[in-house]
Amino acid sequence: MDALKAFHQNVVTPTEIKYLRIIVHFGVYEYLRMPFGIKNAPSHFQRIMNEIFPEELSEGWLIIYIDEIIVCSTTWGEHMYRLSRVLTKIESVNMKISLKKCHFGFKELKAPGHVVS
């Protein structure tokens, strides 16, 4: 699964807004959501994802790399149960996923730099 516009789903706190101001000749703009291209954005988003799924990550069947979410299972029933758990948590934090970038039920897939089976 792939989080839809991942960084933009993260609301910037009032204390962070001042660091994300853009001053131009016609005004001052402030990001209200995490912008792409900020140096610490990937690690910040990774930490958020790890905080959403601590049990699943510690059980060893969930792999998260920034906005990529991989659910690992050995049986179809187990996969459906785990997928349901992940999707329920995604919904509970109002996160959106990109259905165009999602692949479900594959025995093997290519993840960043690896083949997972």
End-to-end CA, the chain: 15
Look up the CATH number of domain 6-116.
Answer: 3.30.70.270
Domain extents in the chain:
6-116
What are the residues whose beta carbons fall under 8 Å from the beta carbon of 26, sequence distance 6 or more? none
pLDDT tens-digit series, residues 34-79:
888 788 888 888 888 999 999 999 999 999 888 888 888 889 999 9
Q: What is the CA radius of gyration of the chain?
A: 17
CA 79-45-30 angle, to 5 degrees, is 140
Task: Taking residues 1-28, report their average pLDDT.
Answer: 82
- Please state, rounded to an integer, the average pLDDT across all residues of the chain: 85
Q: Is the pLDDT of residue 85 over 90?
A: yes
Alpha carbon of residue 40 to chain centroid: 15
Please give the Cα distance from 31 to 68 (Å, whole number): 24
How is residue 55 written in tokens? Answer: 């049990």
